[in-house]
Amino acid sequence: MEKHSSLSDGFLADIRFGFRSLRRSPIFSAFAILTLALGIGATTTVFTLVNTILIHPFPARDPSHLLSIGATDLKDQKQSASLLPVSYPNLKDYQLRNTTFSGFAGYSPPLVLTLAQNTESERFFGQLVTSEYWETLGLTPVKGRFFLPAETSSSSQAPVAVLSYNAWKIRFSSDPGIIGKSLKLNQSQFTIIGVAPESFLGVSAIFGPDVWLPATMAKQVLPPPMQDVLINREKPFFDIVGRPKPGIDQHQAEANLQTEIKIYTLENANRALQDLKHSRIQGAGVLRVSN
């Protein structure tokens, strides 16, 4: 157990370091960063990052209206505090409580996968995303379709994949019959259902993934210490991108989320105290909530 814990801690540390590096070169010309500090007495802070040199054009609908949402460390109150990912259970809870955003989606850090073709294997970069990802960004596939909510409602029930345009063009020679074909990634079979727009490289990637997979397929492609990310609140793994509803500006979105997160954390604390009262959890759980 201790071995798996140390492995997962190291893995998460590497992810956070990588994402901090990637965020120094955002691909939006105007990308608003909305941060959520999680815990009792949570506060929120808004950052606006302006990158005068676009690395690649971004094909999303009104990209300047997108907000990137992440956690901040309550011990680090500096305006330059790095954004941190959130756990999948927290992400789903935020989606359910959301009243401000018309789109609210999660995405993982880039993943190094193994693509098996015939008798050969090669490196293939991937990313796990929620079903709302494509609609939130306002993207349209050049071939096929994106993920359906029904396909991603249950864990491990949607072995489907969306290829990047470059992967389709270079690795699969722009195969016109690519839709419906299979990919073997990390020993699991996936069916190709779509091809992403040509200039889309992901929200925060510089070179872009080769393939996007449903977040609910995490167990099939992640290493053993991380295969419980869909159920474990102690493993922050997903960043969030949101699109506010028409008429909702950045400050209104911040105020709403700040209120919702405070209520959410207080409710969780009360639930933990009730569980402790009825001897359903150990005291350490309450200490983590109140810290």
pLDDT over threshold 70, residue 27: no
pLDDT of residue 28 exceeding 70 = no
DSSP element (H, E) containing 261: helix 250-277
Our measurement of the distance from residue 70's CA atom to the centroid of its chain's CA atoms, rounded to an integer in Å, reads 10
201 CB-contact burial (10 Å; exposed 0-12 / middle 13-18 / buried 19+): buried
pTM above threshold 0.95: no
pLDDT in tens, 145-177: 999 887 777 777 789 999 999 999 999 999 999
pLDDT at 45: 34
Stronger pLDDT, 178 or 21, i.e. the higher one? 178
* Segment 127-143, tens digit of pLDDT: 999 989 999 999 999 99
Taking the CA of residue 49 as centre, how many other CA atoms within 13 Å lie in the half-sphere pointing to its CB? Answer: 22
| Residues above pLDDT 90, as percent of the chain | 37
Please compute the mean of the pLDDT values over residues 181-197 and round it to a whole number.
96
Number of Cβ atoms within 10 Å of the Cβ of 9:
12
HSE-up (13 A, CA, CB side) for residue 39: 15
* Backbone torsions φ then ψ of 272, nearest 5 degrees: -65, -40
Per-residue pLDDT reduced to its tens digit, 241-288: 888 899 888 778 777 777 766 666 555 555 545 544 554 433 322 222
The pLDDT assigned to 151 comes to: 78
Average pLDDT over residues 13-37: 44
The rounded mean pLDDT for the chain is 74
Confidence at residue 195, expressed as pLDDT on a 0 to 100 scale: 98
